[in-house]
Each structure stands twice: as C-alpha cells, then as structure tokens.
Amino acid sequence: MRHFLTLMDFSADELNWVIERAIELKQMHKRGDIYEPLRNRVLGMVFEKASTRTRVSFEAGMAQLGGHAIFLSPRDTQLGRGEPIEDSARVLSRMVDVVMIRTFKHDMIERFAAHSAVPVINALTDDYHPCQLLADMQTFREHRGSIKGKTVVWIGDGNNMCHSYINAAMQFDFQLRIASPEGFEPDPALVAEAGNRVTLLRDPQEAVKGAHLIATDVWASMGQESEREERIRHFRPYQVSPALLDMADKEVVFMHCLPAHRGEEVSHDLLDDPRCIAWDEAENRLHAQKALLEFLLCQED
C-alpha cells in the first residue's frame, strides 16, 4: 500500500512509468476503448479547498476506469464538525479503496495517511501539488519529448507549485531556475536538498534565457486573498508575456496550472499564444491521475 503525498514518494522510474501510462490511457480514451480495471472500486474525495480541474478530473477518471467517486466537502463530513483527522482516516479507509484530499496544511494529509488503511493522494496542499506536476511532465513529453537535461523556469511565488517543480527537477533530472521577488522564495530547505539542480534568481528576463519550459501561477493563492494588493505590487515585474517567451529557447512552451488571472501573472494575450500549452496541460490532469490511480490500486493485479 502506497501513498502519493509528494513526487518524492515514488522512484524516478515509477514516475516515468506513470507518465508513459498516462499517455497510453489518453490514446485509449481518444480511440473510444473501454478499459475498466477499477470496476467496483471507490474513491473518496475530501475537499477543504474548492476546485474545478481537480474534482472533474478525478471524478471523470474514476468513471472512465469503471469505478465510482464520492465528493465530500467539510459540510458533508464530521471533519467539518471537529472530528479528529486520525478518526476520519480510520473510518473512511474502511469504506473506500483510495482517498484523495485537497486541503490547506500539509500536516493534515500526512496525519490522515498515517492512519489510513488505503492509499492517500495529495490533490493539493499549501506545500505541494504533485498531481499537477504529473500532468505537466506528461504534457511536456507529448510536445517536446524527454525533459531530462532541459532548462525549466518557474516565475513568481515560491508556492506549492514551485515546491513540486523543485521535486520534479530532482526526479526527472532537469535544471530549474526560479525567479521570485525578495521575500517570496521557496522553502530554503527544499532548495538546499535539490542542490545544483535549482538556481534562484531575481530577474525573470535573465532566468528565461535558453529556457525550454516556462511556468507560473497566480500571485495570490486560495487563503491569501487579503494579501492580494500587496502581492500585486511585489509581483508586477514578474508577469509572463509573449515578449518574455521570445527571450527563451525557440522551442519554448508555456504552462499554467490554472485558473489564470489575465493581466496579472500572465498578459492578456499569453494564453492565446501558440507556445502556450496550458489547455493540454489541464486535460492531462485527467489521464495522469487515471495512471496514478491504476498504479496505486492495481500493483498486485
């Protein structure tokens, strides 16, 4: 029984298997093949943070694999009324086959996993967003081939997405440059762990030179709404635009985990630029997570 709380929970070979399998499952889906290895399996989806892509991709993915998903918000469970996380984990994991959690504190999902009898998937915490990185790595591979040895640039907040890109640099063996304003850098311990795979910079124009992939995220994530105006002031020089992409490698692609705030972290026209592959990236959440679910639930089959 395995959990997927960060990319570091799998080996590099396992992650690459998941990516290749996601591409296969996507092709099967496009052909209309019926493939239902998760028939009679149930996914419990615990949401403390709202979502569009996460809910739809996991729920549709379970349906396509023959299983079923149950959506649980705080008002639908005793978690929202103060039941200890450990007790909820013990109960839910006796009724479902796998649990997906989208929450705030990473400690919450770690505590849940420690007391769960079934695999637990991190669908986003304040510290990490590993499912999104599976989709990102799949999308790059589909468009440009292996990301090994390539240069990736993260522009903006040193947030959960940035942390997962740091993990991805270690697992998929690419160079990561991070351009963030002072005071918004990623976790120093995580940067130190990544060693020479990660470089911190201030100037986004310097960071994107020779880049093969540029990625960003909103400047104020869920739970940071009160900081929005202050963050805009700090992050304004870090907007990604077609002109910034022009300074990168001629084959550069751009990704955004969405939703995007046009006119803030991205210019109004960037998502319509042919180098933007954010829509394929969003679609691939479905197929990458199907491969992940198959990996976690069918290892002994």
Characterize 128-163 residue by residue with b for buried, 16 or more Cβ atoms within 10 angstroms of its Cβ, and e for exposed. Answer: bbbbbbbbbbbbbbbebeebeebbbbbbbbbbbbbb
Angle at 7 between CA 70 and CA 231, to 5 degrees: 85
Q: What is the layout of strands, in order, in the sheet containing 213-216?
A: 198-201, 175-179, 151-155, 213-216, 253-256
285 is catalytic: yes
What is the strand order of the sheet 120-124 is part of? Answer: 68-72, 42-47, 98-102, 120-124
Q: Which of 3, 129, 177, 212 is catalytic?
A: 129
Q: What is the pLDDT of residue 3?
A: 98
**Residue 222: per-residue pLDDT:** 64
In angstroms, the CA 147 to CA 55 distance is 28
How crowded is residue 250: how many other Cβ atoms within 10 Å of its Cβ? 7
55 is a catalytic site residue: no
Q: How far apart are CA 151 and CA 137, in angstroms?
A: 13
97, 127, 136, 217: which is the annotated catalytic residue? 217
Contact present, 52 and 259 (Cβ < 8 Å): yes
Identified catalytic residue from 132, 171, 239, 289: 132
Task: Given the residues 239, 285, 287, 289, select the one marked as catalytic.
Answer: 285
Instruction: Tell me which of 3, 102, 177, 212 is the catalytic residue.
Output: 102
Residue 102 is among the residues annotated as catalytic for this protein: yes
Asked if residue 91 lies in contact with residue 44, where contact means CB atoms within 8 angstroms, the answer is: no
- Please indicate whether residue 231 is annotated as part of the active site: no
Nearest alpha carbon to residue 121 among 162, 69, 82, 79: 69
Q: Give the span between the Cα atoms of 267 and 238, in whole angstroms.
A: 10
pLDDT string in tens for the chain (301-residue length): 899 999 999 999 999 999 999 999 999 999 999 999 999 999 999 999 889 999 999 999 999 999 999 999 877 776 766 789 999 999 999 999 999 999 999 999 999 999 999 999 999 999 999 999 999 999 999 999 999 999 999 999 999 999 999 999 999 999 999 999 999 999 999 999 999 999 999 999 999 999 999 999 999 876 666 777 888 999 999 999 999 999 999 999 999 999 999 999 999 999 999 999 999 999 999 999 999 999 999 975 5
What's the one-letter identity of residue 42? Answer: V
The one catalytic residue in 21, 106, 212, 257 is 257
Q: Is 111 a catalytic residue?
A: no
- Positive or negative: CA dihedral 210, 213, 218, 219: negative
Q: Is 217 a catalytic residue?
A: yes
Short-list 290, 250, 277, CA closest to 142: 277
Of 161, 135, 142, 99, the closest CA to residue 287 belongs to 135
